């Protein structure tokens, strides 16, 4: 690839990523999955790593989050930046992070915890009272004041037991799968557009101008970081968690303290195995240095802290049994086959149907009624069939043919 082609590819990637950043952060309406977005970002980072002289200040790799929007409330300046985390996609990258920290620090501890799929929020307490709640916004300069909405979220403490002069925490606002199902049931009843997933719904709800809607939709929140404190010193992340729990705050409850790369991997696997049984969505596991002084020692870049990484799990897929293949006729007369299968939970919603496109697709997979199929959500929105587990095929199945007779006539 010559330099002209590299520049063209960089421009294309940056433009595409900016578009998806706007969809995700500002409009709460992503058009692609996190996994597909991560692949784009990985490609951009790879090219910029090979051609560092072509990195620009406005590149998505050099910026954090989206933009703060005025219609949701007053804009507030961040006291502490709400940076993103460095995403990694392999256990080898996690091991590199852990081992590098062990080499640089004196016997560090690592905390491994769930990465909640929601919207970041900073809570400010003065003399023990909640005074402000601020969204991430651009992550560095300012975010949106959504204090009135935060006051109606049951997980957010309005008053702390210990009245520190100043106490700021960061957490993730999310919507449980049960609450999300109720909201979409109501949307359907009213003939309104359904939300694609719990994260989109939570983000849009937190930015509502009417706090009554926020209260009705039953948002939840986990606190995952101490941002700043006056009146008391904290030595570590877990010490801050212990204090928060005594205040009645809801912190990330599934976390483990580890000392080796092997322990970190085991904790990541344990969290990954629980994904399907959790009442809320997670999209990864966060590995962070526990000691605050050691975090200061490692420092941060303009976009990410060097003391933490986020391991991203691959897209969620599940096996289920194909019960039937239904045929429908469109306005042009085209026949579309649809797989009907035993319901499974994917990306926070119940899925029991997926398109099979056409006869060629059915033939390619050799899919038959009664088969065990593997399903996933394209872009975490559209249910699709990935493959067939032919080893579990029951006896007596037959190839499925759409035929040349109209199923309606």
For range 6-12, the mean pLDDT: 89
For residue 129, tell me if it sits in a domain. yes
Q: Is residue 28 scored above 70 in pLDDT? A: no
* CATH number, domain with residue 380: 2.40.50.140
CA distance 168 to 145: 14
Q: pLDDT over 70 for what percent of the chain?
A: 94
In a domain, 19, yes or no: yes
Model pLDDT for residues 148-162, shown as the tens digit of each residue = 999 999 999 999 999
The pLDDT tens digits of the residues spanning 185-213 come to: 888 888 888 887 899 899 989 988 888 88
Strand partners, 336: 328
Which residue segment(s) compose the domain that 333 sits in? 317-392
Q: What whole-number distance in Å separates Cα of residue 197 and Cα of residue 180?
A: 8
Closest CA to 222 of 268, 176, 178, 257: 176
* Strand (E) or helix (H) holding 121: strand 119-126
| 409 belongs to a structural domain | no
CATH number of the domain bearing residue 184: 3.30.470.30
The mean predicted confidence, pLDDT, of the chain is 90
Does residue 39 sit in the same domain as residue 176? no
Cα(257)–Cα(236) distance, rounded to whole angstroms?
A: 11
Q: Are residues 121 and 40 in the same domain?
A: no
Average of per-residue pLDDT across 308-316: 89
My answer on whether 305 and 240 are in the same domain is yes
d(CA 285, CA 85): 11
Give residue 68's pLDDT band: very low, low, confident or very high (50, 70, 90): very low
Task: List CB contacts of 58: < 8 A, sequence separation 6 or more.
Answer: 14
Of the listed 45, 115, 318, 350, which one is catalytic? Answer: 115
* 91 has catalytic annotation: no
Output the pLDDT for position 347. Answer: 65
Question: Is the predicted pLDDT of residue 70 greater than 50, yes or no?
Answer: no
Same domain, 146 and 102: yes
> Is pLDDT of 31 > 60?
yes
pTM: 0.72
């Amino acid at each position: 690839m010559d330099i002209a082609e590299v520049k063209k590819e960089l421009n294309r990637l940056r433009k595409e990523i900016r578009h998806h950043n706007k969809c995700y952060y500002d409009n709460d309406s992503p058009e692609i999955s996190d996994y597909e977005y991560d692949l784009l970002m990985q490609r951009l980072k790879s090219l910029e790593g090979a051609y560092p002289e072509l990195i620009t200040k406005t590149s998505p790799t050099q910026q954090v989050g989206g933009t703060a929007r005025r219609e949701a409330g007053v804009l507030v300046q961040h006291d502490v930046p709400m940076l993103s985390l460095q995403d990694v996609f392999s256990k080898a990258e996690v091991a590199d992070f852990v081992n590098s920290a062990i080499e640089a620090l004196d016997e560090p501890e690592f905390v491994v915890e769930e990465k909640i799929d929601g919207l970041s929020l900073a809570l400010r307490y003065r003399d023990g009272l909640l005074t402000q709640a601020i969204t991430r916004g651009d992550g560095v300069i300012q975010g949106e004041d959504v204090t009135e909405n935060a006051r109606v979220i049951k997980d957010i403490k309005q008053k702390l037991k210990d009245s520190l002069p100043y106490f700021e925490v960061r957490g993730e606002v999310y919507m449980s799968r049960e609450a999300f199902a109720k909201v979409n049931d109501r949307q359907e009843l009213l003939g309104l557009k359904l939300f694609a997933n719990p994260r989109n719904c939570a983000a849009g709800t937190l930015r509502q101008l009417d706090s009554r809607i926020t209260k009705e939709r039953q948002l939840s929140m986990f606190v995952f970081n101490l941002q700043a404190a006056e009146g008391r010193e904290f030595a570590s992340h877990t010490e801050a968690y212990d204090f928060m729990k005594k205040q009645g705050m809801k912190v990330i409850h599934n976390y483990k303290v580890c000392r080796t790369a092997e322990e970190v991997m085991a904790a990541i696997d344990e969290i990954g195995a629980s994904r399907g049984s959790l009442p809320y969505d997670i999209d990864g596991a966060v590995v962070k240095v526990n000691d605050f002084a050691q975090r200061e020692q490692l420092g941060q870049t303009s976009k990410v802290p060097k003391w933490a990484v986020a391991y991203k799990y691959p897209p969620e897929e599940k096996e289920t049994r194909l019960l039937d293949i239904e045929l429908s006729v469109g306005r042009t007369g085209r026949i579309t086959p649809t797989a009907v299968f035993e319901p499974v939970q994917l990306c926070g919603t119940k899925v029991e149907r997926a398109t099979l496109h056409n006869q060629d697709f059915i033939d390619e997979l050799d899919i038959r009624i009664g088969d065990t199929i593997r399903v996933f959500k394209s872009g975490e929105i559209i249910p699709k069939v990935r493959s067939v587990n032919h080893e579990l095929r029951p006896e007596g199945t037959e190839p499925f043919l759409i035929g040349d007779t109209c199923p309606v006539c």
